[in-house]
C-alpha cells in the first residue's frame, strides 16, 4: 500500500487529503498514470513528487509503505 498526499488545488479537486494506492512497487510516472485514470486530475503531469519527504525523479521507484506527496508549484514566502 502506498499513501499519496494531496495539497492545495489537488486536495480540492480530488476532495481528499490522502489516497491509498494498492501497489507494491511502481515508478513515479506509473503512479501518476494510475492516479490520472482513477481520479480526474489532469494537473498531475505538472506537479512534482516527493517520496518520503524527498523530491523524486520520474523514474524513481516507489515501494509499499512509502509516503508519496504530489507537490504543485509552491507559493510560499
Query: Which residue from 15, 22, 53, 59 is in contact with other proteins, where contact means CB under 8 A?
Result: 53
* CB-based contacts of 31, cutoff 8 Å, min separation 6: 2, 4, 21, 23, 49, 62, 68
As a whole number of angstroms, the distance between CA 15 and CA 20 comes to 14
Q: Does 21 bind other proteins (CB under 8 A)?
A: no
Query: Which residue from 3, 7, 23, 33 is in contact with other proteins, where contact means CB under 8 A?
Result: 7
Specify the stretch interacting with other proteins by CB under 8 A; choose among 18-26, 34-42, 54-62: 54-62
As a whole number of angstroms, the distance between CA 54 and CA 34 comes to 21
Q: Which residues form the interface with other proteins (CB under 8 A)?
A: 5, 7-9, 11-12, 46-48, 50, 53-57, 69, 71-77
Amino acid at each position: 500500500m502506498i499513501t499519496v498526499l494531496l495539497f492545495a488545488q489537488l486536495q480540492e479537486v480530488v476532495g481528499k487529503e490522502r489516497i491509498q494506492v494498492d501497489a507494491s512497487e511502481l515508478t513515479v510516472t506509473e503512479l501518476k498514470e494510475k492516479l490520472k485514470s482513477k481520479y480526474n486530475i489532469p494537473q498531475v503531469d505538472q506537479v512534482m513528487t516527493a517520496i518520503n519527504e524527498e523530491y523524486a525523479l520520474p523514474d524513481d521507484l516507489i515501494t509499499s509503505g512509502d509516503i508519496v506527496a504530489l507537490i504543485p508549484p509552491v507559493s510560499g514566502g
